[in-house]
Structure formats: structure tokens, C-alpha cells
């Protein structure tokens, strides 16, 4: 890659360009198994799987999926929280040339169904706690089989017994599959399957994942990521983290593996380097997470600012009960990293917390701060082989000089090939510039400083930044509100709920003949939307602010809300 002004900031030993292997993600696991067969690959709630164990489970599940008719290029939905089975599912799908379609475990049946339908998934792998939701979505999908697994499958024996007795039913983990011929238990399927699948010819350019994202307005679009894209991102991440020891590091996988961030930064990166992944089923259990970091002597903890903040503030930490000094490196994504959060967590761990940036369309990481000489308030500098520039907001064609705002564009081996079945959206987002390179137009408004650090200053997209780095698009919430027979007009905005997190607030005009309460509308949304998308407040209005031709102006609503807040 040609010289760029930001290369001067790279840590010592970080190259500007890398060699990428001509391999698939499956080949990375095969290599890890060959190099470190007896090293632990996964720790989960007290259970340990070596790389050999993982490989055996993957082989068997891959054969089982083949038995269900999954062939090369077929899509398989993955609707799971973090557990060993989701890693097994991803790897098994890839081993037989399939395409994984991850769905956020917080999604409702309708949201899951939409993604499975759009992707044309043939099979879904879900957890028993999602079974009810999947059942409701089934009629609207092309799913031929649903493989169900209980989170307890990989619990150690004693915990499994306790869980079955006390937690399984109350936690919604018990599922009755008897009435549904398309459903089958993962453990039964694996017990009956051959040890390994029929070999499938795969190429690094094959599709590995359809990662759904809201796009600019919230209509879900499948981001097409190839094996080559994802391996490139794994290698770029390794390159900017010098000093990590192959086969030695202990990664905490606490963020959801259905999101591109954890899939790449935690899972693919770990398997590529023979690390141990400590899988945490629920990052909101801060106490459990602290205990895990302490006990496992974890060294890598990718997260989001709210997570580092919650860990730092826990009484067990301030009281010195947990030892976090094993933590060496943390890449923080999703939202701006407040300096205080960074300083506090670095103090507690003695490690480094650096802010990065990415988007699913780029596998996802494109920028990260150097470990030494990072700059607060910035997303750092582009990773090796990653080019970046800021273009004018109006036409998105003219490169802006340093210091001036515009749309951030990136180019590199980690950038997607397009959106699934959306040629127009693809053409809008991926554009060939005069330099002959294909550039991803991120939609985020950024400034490049004189010396090559990048700052995000605004978002071109209209979205609500919910806790945990989750995005909510006003359109999808309004869509649900309009389904209610009383709602005539709706406008949804984000309102702050402490720190940088937002929650949705809905402004609605209702039919006076069909009154409805705010509680009823919130409950209505709760049945149709994942919890983080459900409006926390509903305000009734006689009319909504509109332009002359009748377009509804959410921005006006947000302004009014802000003035109201400031006015007390």
C-alpha cells in the first residue's frame, strides 16, 4: 500500500501492508487443530473443549447439516446467545461451504423471521429459549429444518443437573419439539451423524456470512462477507496488536457472537491464533464476568464503553475483590470511548484500552488507535492495507481537506462485496472512485486531522444508539406503531438515558374514536420488537411537525425534546 500520512502513528513493528493466506475460515480451524490439538479452545461455565474436541464437534455437526440437505452456498440461520454451540455452528456451516446468517438473540420471532426469509435460509440453528419465537416465524420462512440446542448441553455435569432442576423451566429453556416435524435436537442429530462431512470444494471468495444490518433507514440488509474479507480482518487485527503470543492468549468473548464485532474480533481472531476463548453467555451479568476474568486470567477483553464502565464501577472491583491485572489489551468499539472510562479501566488492569471503529460492511474493523500514542476522542488510524478518506456530504465525490467534515469512506480487503439481493443499495454504498478503487461509503460523518487521525463527528444515518452498541432505526419502530389500529401518525426519536446511551421515544397521533394508552402501545411494541428497540416513552400529540408537503420531521421532535429537557 502506498504511503499514507497516518502510517507515522503505527506502533513499532506494525507493517503498512500484509500478506493474506489464500484460505477459507475452515482452514484456519484445521490449522489450529494441527498446531495445538490439546490446548483449550473454549472455556464455558466450567466446561473445557480442546481444539481437538472442537474439531470433532464441528465435523460431526457439519455432517449432520449435510444430512439435512445443506450444500455449498446454502444459507443457515444462527439464532443463538453466546455458548460453545454457536462456535460449532459457524464452523460446521463453513466446513461444508454454507453461509451463516446470524440473528441477534434479543430479536422477536418476527424480526428473526424477516432475516431468515430475506436470506432464504434452508436450516436454522437456535437455542431452546428461542424455540417459541422461531415457531411463530416458521410459516413465513423457507426453513426446512430447525436444529435446537439447550444452553445446558455444554454445562459441566453437576451444573447441568442443578440447571435442569431449578433454572431450565423458569428461564424459558425448556422446549417441546414434538408437534413440529421440522424441528430436531442438535444433540440427537449429532449422535446419529457420521464423524465428518463429505468434503466440499471451497474458495476464499465464497460467501461465509450474511450479516444483517439496518442500512441507512432500518430496512434490514444482508451484508455479504467472504472468507477472504473475514480472514483479512482477523490478520489486520493481529497486525495492530503486536506482542500477542500465538497459542497463549485468553480471549473473553462476552459481546454477542451474532454481531460482526465479536464474530471477527473474538472468535475468528482466536481460532486463527490458537487462543483460548472464554465464552460468556450474558455480558450483563457483570459480577459473573468479573469472576470469569479473574479466574481465567483473561488477557484480551474486546468490549464497548458501557461494559468497561460497568466493570470499573462494580463494588467488587472498587473493593478489590477481583484481580483484573491479567488484562493486557482491549479494543473498544460501537461508541466514543470517554477518557475517564479508558483511564479508569487501564488503571485497574494495567493494560491498554484503545478505541476502534468499524461497521458490518467492513468485517467490521477499519480504524483503531495505536497502543502507544493513541489520541482520545478519535477512532485512531486506518489499519494496514486500509485506505480512508473524507468526501463532501452533498455529492460524496470530492475529497475534503484535513480538518473539514464529510462522509467517511474506506477501502480495503475487509470490505464486503455488497448487500444480498439489493443491487441499488449496493451501488449507493460501494462506489468506484476516480482512483479505480472501490470505496465503502460509511454514512458516518468524520474529520481527518492534519496528521491522519480520524474523528467521527456525526452520523448521516438516522438512528438511535441503544445500550451495548446496538442500533435502533426509527423507521422499524414506527412500522410497528402503525400496525396498531389506533395509530394515525408516528414519529420516533432517540432520547438520552444516561451516558451516551439512548432509548426510543415515540410521538403518536391516535384516532380519537379508538383511544389507547401509552402502556398499551409500549406493550404492543414489546410483543413485536426486541426489548432494546421498544420505546420507553410515548407522547400523544394532536399533530406531528411536518414540512409543507406533509413530510414528518423527526428532527423537529428531537429539537422540541431537547429544548424541553433544557427548560426543565
Partner 1 sequence: MSAGRPRFIPPLDLRPPPGPGEEPVVWFQMPDGLEVGLRPIHPEDREALSEGFRALSDDSRYHRFLTPLPRLTDAQARYLTEIDQINHFAWGIGLRDPGGGLRGIGVARYVRESADAEAAEIAVAITDEHQGRGLGSLLVRALAVVAQTHGITRLTGVVLAENRAMIRIFEKLGGTTRSSGAGLVRADAVLGGQGLCNLGDAACTELVRVADRAAHPSNRHRGPDGA
**Cα distance between residue 526 and residue 108, in whole Å:** 9
Shortest Cβ 135–partner 1 spacing (Å):
26
Among residues 397, 482, 499, 514, which is the contact residue for partner 1, using CB under 8 A?
482
Shortest Cβ 282–partner 1 spacing (Å):
33
Q: Does 241 bind partner 1 (CB under 8 A)?
A: no
In 269-397 the beta strands, taken as DSSP E runs, fall at 276-279, 329-332, 352-358, 365-368, 381-382, 387-391
Is the peptide bond preceding residue 71 cis, with omega within 30 degrees of 0?
Answer: no
Shortest Cβ 394–partner 1 spacing (Å):
5
Shortest Cβ 216–partner 1 spacing (Å):
5
Shortest Cβ 460–partner 1 spacing (Å):
6
Going 230 to 231 to 235 to 236, the CA torsion angle's sign is negative
Q: Which stretch binds partner 1 (CB under 8 A): 69-77, 302-310, 350-358, 484-492?
A: 484-492
Do 202 and 72 form a contact (C-beta atoms < 8 A)? yes
Do 43 and 54 form a contact (C-beta atoms < 8 A)? no
Pull the grid cell for residue 50.
Answer: 480442546
- The DSSP 8-state label assigned to residue 303 in this structure reads B
Shortest Cβ 479–partner 1 spacing (Å):
5
Among residues 458, 527, 559, 565, which is the contact residue for partner 1, using CB under 8 A?
458
Residues facing 419 on adjacent strands: 223
Element counts in the chain: helices (H) and strands (E): 18, 26
Q: Does 11 bind partner 1 (CB under 8 A)?
A: no
Q: Which residues within the stretch 406-425 sit at the binding site for partner 1 (CB under 8 A)?
A: 424-425
**Residues 6 or more apart from 255 whose CB is under 8 A from it?**
261, 262, 266, 283, 302, 303, 304, 307, 469
Interface pattern 545-564 for partner 1 (x via CB under 8 A): --xxxxxxxxx---------
Q: Does 82 bind partner 1 (CB under 8 A)?
A: no
Q: Does 274 bind partner 1 (CB under 8 A)?
A: no
Pull the grid cell for residue 144.
Answer: 426446512
Element (H, E) at 507: strand 502-510
Q: Does 431 bind partner 1 (CB under 8 A)?
A: no
Q: Between 216 and 270, whose beta carbon lies closer to partner 1?
A: 216
For cell 480504524, what's the residue?
367
Pull the grid cell for residue 152.
Answer: 445446558
Q: Does 53 bind partner 1 (CB under 8 A)?
A: no
Q: Does 461 bind partner 1 (CB under 8 A)?
A: yes
Q: Between 550 and 567, whose beta carbon lies closer to partner 1?
A: 550
Q: Which residues within the stretch 187-226 sit at the binding site for partner 1 (CB under 8 A)?
A: 215-217, 219
Q: By CB under 8 A, name the binding residues for partner 1.
A: 215-217, 219, 393-395, 424-425, 428, 445, 458-462, 475, 478-479, 482, 488-491, 509, 547-555
Amino acid at each position: 500500500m502506498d504511503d499514507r500520512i497516518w502510517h507515522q502513528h503505527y506502533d513499532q513493528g506494525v507493517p503498512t501492508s500484509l500478506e493474506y493466506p489464500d484460505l477459507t475460515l475452515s482452514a484456519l480451524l484445521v490449522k489450529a487443530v494441527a498446531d495445538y490439538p490439546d490446548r483449550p479452545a473454549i472455556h464455558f461455565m466450567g466446561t473445557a473443549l480442546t481444539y481437538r474436541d472442537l474439531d470433532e464437534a464441528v465435523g460431526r455437526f457439519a455432517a449432520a447439516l449435510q444430512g439435512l440437505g445443506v450444500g455449498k452456498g446454502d444459507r443457515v440461520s444462527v439464532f443463538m446467545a453466546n455458548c460453545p454451540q454457536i462456535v460449532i455452528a459457524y464452523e460446521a456451516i463453513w466446513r461444508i461451504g454454507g453461509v451463516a446468517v446470524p440473528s441477534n438473540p434479543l430479536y422477536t420471532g418476527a424480526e428473526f423471521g424477516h432475516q431468515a426469509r430475506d436470506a432464504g435460509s434452508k436450516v436454522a440453528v437456535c437455542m431452546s429459549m428461542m424455540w417459541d419465537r422461531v415457531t411463530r416465524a416458521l410459516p413465513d420462512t423457507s426453513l426446512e429444518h430447525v436444529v435446537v440446542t439447550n444452553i445446558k448441553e455444554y454445562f459441566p455435569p453437576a451444573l447441568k443437573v442443578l440447571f435442569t432442576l431449578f433454572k431450565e423451566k423458569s428461564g424459558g429453556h425448556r422446549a417441546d419439539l414434538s408437534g413440529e416435524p421440522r424441528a430436531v435436537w442438535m444433540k440427537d442429530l449429532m449422535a446419529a451423524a457420521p464423524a465428518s462431512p463429505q468434503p466440499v470444494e471451497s474458495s476464499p471468495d465464497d460467501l461465509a456470512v450474511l450479516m444483517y444490518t439496518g442500512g441507512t433507514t432500518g430496512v434490514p440488509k444482508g451484508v455479504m462477507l467472504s472468507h477472504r474479507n473475514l480472514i483479512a480482518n482477523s490478520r489486520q487485527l493481529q497486525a495492530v496488536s503486536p506482542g500477542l503470543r500465538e497459542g497463549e492468549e485468553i480471549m473473553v468473548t462476552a459481546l454477542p457472537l451474532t454481531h460482526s464485532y465479536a464474530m471477527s474480533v473474538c472468535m475468528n481472531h482466536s481460532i486463527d491464533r490458537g487462543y483460548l476463548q472464554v465464552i460468556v453467555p450474558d455480558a450483563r451479568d457483570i459480577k459473573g464476568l468479573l469472576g470469569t476474568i479473574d479466574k481465567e486470567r483473561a488477557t484480551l477483553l474486546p468490549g464497548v464503553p458501557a461494559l468497561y464502565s460497568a466493570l470499573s464501577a462494580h463494588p467488587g472491583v472498587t473493593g478489590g475483590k477481583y484481580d483484573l491485572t491479567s488484562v493486557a489489551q482491549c479494543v473498544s468499539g460501537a461508541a466514543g470511548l470517554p477518557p475517564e472510562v479508558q483511564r479508569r479501566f487501564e488503571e485497574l488492569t494495567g493494560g491498554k484500552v484503545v478505541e476502534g471503529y468499524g461497521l458490518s460492511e467492513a468485517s467490521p474493523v477499519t480504524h483503531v488507535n495505536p497502543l502507544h500514542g493513541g489520541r482520545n476522542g478519535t477512532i485512531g488510524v486506518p489499519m494496514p492495507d486500509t485506505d480512508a478518506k473524507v468526501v463532501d456530504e452533498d455529492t460524496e465525490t470530492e475529497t475534503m481537506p484535513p480538518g473539514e467534515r464529510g462522509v467517511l469512506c474506506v477501502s480495503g480487503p475487509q470490505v464486503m462485496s455488497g448487500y444480498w439481493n439489493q443491487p441499488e443499495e449496493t451501488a449507493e454504498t460501494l462506489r468506484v472512485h476516480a482512483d479505480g478503487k472501490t470505496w465503502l461509503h460509511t454514512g458516518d460523518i468524520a474529520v481527518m486531522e492534519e496528521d491522519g487521525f480520524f474523528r467521527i463527528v456525526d452520523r448521516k444515518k438516522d438512528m438511535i444508539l441503544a445500550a451495548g452498541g446496538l442500533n435502533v432505526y426509527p423507521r422499524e419502530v414506527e412500522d410497528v406503531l402503525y400496525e396498531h389500529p389506533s395509530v394515525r401518525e408516528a414519529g420516533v426519536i432517540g432520547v438520552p438515558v444516561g451516558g451516551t446511551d439512548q432509548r426510543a421515544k415515540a410521538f403518536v397521533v391516535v384516532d380519537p374514536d379508538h383511544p389507547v394508552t401509552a402502556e398499551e402501545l409500549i406493550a404492543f411494541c414489546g410483543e413485536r420488537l426486541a426489548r432494546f428497540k421498544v420505546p420507553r416513552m410515548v407522547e400523544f400529540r394532536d399533530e406531528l411537525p411536518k414540512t409543507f408537503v406533509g413530510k414528518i420531521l423527526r428532527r423537529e421532535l428531537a429539537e422540541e425534546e431537547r429544548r424541553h429537557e433544557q427548560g426543565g
